[in-house]
Amino acid sequence: MSSTSSRLEKKGFLSQLPPKANIDDYEVITINGKSGKKLKMYREKKEQIDIDGLEDFTHSWTAFQQNLS
């Protein structure tokens, strides 16, 4: 499993979160080894998604209506 871990570490994954890190700022993957042992790897998210913006379609709806006319 160490070769898999090292390949993932080259891609930017960490085996442990940094101290005082917010878990919401990281994507998490779980690797199952041949022995059945599970290892979690963490990578910082490149783009933060604005959840409030996803729920508010007012701007999109206004732009859509303007393009109809």
Tens digits of residue pLDDT in 33-64: 778 899 899 998 887 666 666 666 777 788 88
Give the closest residue to 26 by CA, choosing from 38, 15, 37: 15
Which residue segment(s) compose the domain that 53 sits in?
2-68
Task: For residue 14, give the 3-state DSSP assignment.
Answer: strand
Mean pLDDT, rounded, of the chain: 81
Q: Are the C-beta atoms of 13 and 4 separated by less than 8 Å?
A: no
Total count of domains within the chain: 1
1-10, 14-23, 24-33, 50-59: the lowest-pLDDT one: 50-59
d(CA 9, CA 16): 11
This prediction has a pTM of 0.56
d(CA 11, CA 16): 15
| Confidence grade of residue 19 (pLDDT, cut at 50, 70, 90) | very high
